[in-house]
Amino acid sequence: SGHNVVLEIQASIPSTEETPSKKPMWKGVVVAYTIVLLCYFPVAFVCYWAFGNSVDDNILITLNTPKWLIAAANMMVVVHVIGSYQVYAMPVFDMMEMVLVRKMRFSPGWKLRLVSRSLFVAFTMFIGITFPFFGGLIGFFGGLSFAPTTYFLPCIIWLTVYKPRVFSLSWCANWFCIVGGVLLMVLGPIGGLRQIIMEAKTYQFYS
C-alpha cells in the first residue's frame, strides 16, 4: 500500500507525449502488486488454515519452531521496515518541515531535519510500544481510512470522469472494487473493535 508515495514516484519519471510516464508506472504497479500477491496471500491462507482464529497479528509469534527460521524471518522484517519506513514517512517529513520553516520560521538545514525526524520516529515508536492492541487499532482505523482511499473512492472518481458504458468490462471492474471496498470499510472496523473488546482483559501496556 504505497499509494501515499505513488505520485512522488511517478513525478520523478521522465514523461513526453511519445512516452508518457503512465506506461512505465503501470508496469511497475503491476509488478509490485504481483509480488505483494505472491508474498501475502499464501501466508494469510496457509496460516489461517493451520491455526484458524488463534493466529496472532504477527504470525512469527504464533510459530514455535524452528527457532533459527523464526529468528531469520524477524531479521528480514527489521531490514524491510528500516527501508520501507523511510519511503512511507518521507511525505510526512516534507510536510512537517515545510510547516516548521514557513509557519514557525525555523531555519532549514540538516539540524532541523535531524531533530524533527528523530522526534517523529521516537513518537511513533512510543505509540507502537504503548498500545499492545495495535493490531486491532490498525484493523479499526484502517478499515475506515484505507478502504475508501484505496478501493472505492478512486473508482467512483474514475466512473464520474470517464463515464464508461454500463455493464462494460471497466464499469463492472470498478463496481466490483467499489462493493468490495465498502464491505472492507464496514467489516474491518467491526473485526478490529471485536478483537480489542475480546482481548481487553488481558491487555497490559508496554507488554
Predicted pLDDT of residue 4: 56
Predicted pLDDT of residue 26: 85
**Mean pLDDT on 134-162:** 84
- Rg from Cα positions in the chain: 21
pLDDT reading at 8 higher than 80: no
Predicted pLDDT of residue 106: 87
- Which residues have CB under 8 Å from 207's CB, separation 6+? 132
**Mean pLDDT on 164-193:** 90
- Which residues have CB under 8 Å from 14's CB, separation 6+? 21
pLDDT reading at 48 higher than 80: yes
**Mean pLDDT on 55-68:** 80
Spatial distance between the Cα atoms of 172 and 92, rounded to a whole number of angstroms: 35
Query: Model confidence over 113-136: pLDDT tens digits?
Result: 999 999 999 998 888 787 777 777
The gap between the terminal CA atoms of the chain, to the nearest Å, is: 28
Predicted pLDDT of residue 47: 85
Query: Model confidence over 82-91: pLDDT tens digits?
Result: 888 887 788 8
Predicted pLDDT of residue 157: 92
Residue, of 45 and 58, whose pLDDT is higher: 45
Tell me what the pLDDT averaged over the chain comes to.
84
pLDDT reading at 152 higher than 90: no
Angle between helices 153-162 and 169-198 (to 10 degrees): 160
Query: Model confidence over 32-47: pLDDT tens digits?
Result: 889 888 988 888 888 8
The grid coordinates listed for 131 are 498500545
CB 173 within 8 A of CB 24: no
